[in-house]
Amino acid sequence: MSEREKMDVDELLDEMEDRLREMIEDAVSEALDDQLESVVTCAVQDAIEDALGHFEYVLPDGTQVKRGQLTYVLSPDKSKMLCCRGGLRVDGTCLMVQAGTTCWRDIAVYSSREEAVQALDKVKNAMLAHMEIIEL
């Protein structure tokens, strides 16, 4: 390999390394921005909800939110516990819990929509019974 070819390969490898570094930095930055936005959004929504907590209100999607309508939901694998603010929904095979006024989080993914609906009913019944914690 000539000295010129060796320089070209070295330059190419340096350029590829720089591009890879930029791609990784961009991906990490984007992921952190998304996480920060989600945390800040939920924190702001929770603060608003606490300030208006003595009111009962209905969200545009029809979800009724009432003060004291809080049940902690523990995921089937015990890896997540979310405070449900009154709203539940099934998205495909995923059970979604209203963790803030407009902040929805997934609590569990099931093998079928029917199983997700059954879990939703279980949480609804726990809320009606004023249970503080429900294990899925």
The residue among 39 and 12 whose pLDDT is bigger is 12
pLDDT, mean of residues 99-114:
86
Per-residue pLDDT of 12-28, as tens digits, reads 788 888 888 888 887 77
Residues contacting residue 44 through CB under 8 Å, at least 6 positions apart: none
Angular region, 119: left φ>0, alpha ψ -120 to 50, beta rest: alpha
- Amino acid 26: pLDDT: 79
Q: What is the percent of the chain with per-residue pLDDT over 70, rounded to a whole number?
A: 67
Burial of 36 from C-beta contacts in 10 A (0-12 / 13-18 / 19+) = exposed
pLDDT of residue 113 exceeding 70, the answer is yes
Residue 51 predicted with pLDDT over 70: no
> Which pLDDT score, from 0 to 100, does residue 12 have?
79
Q: Provide the whole-model pTM.
A: 0.52
Residue 23: what pLDDT? Answer: 86
Reported confidence tier of residue 75, pLDDT bands at 50, 70, 90: very high
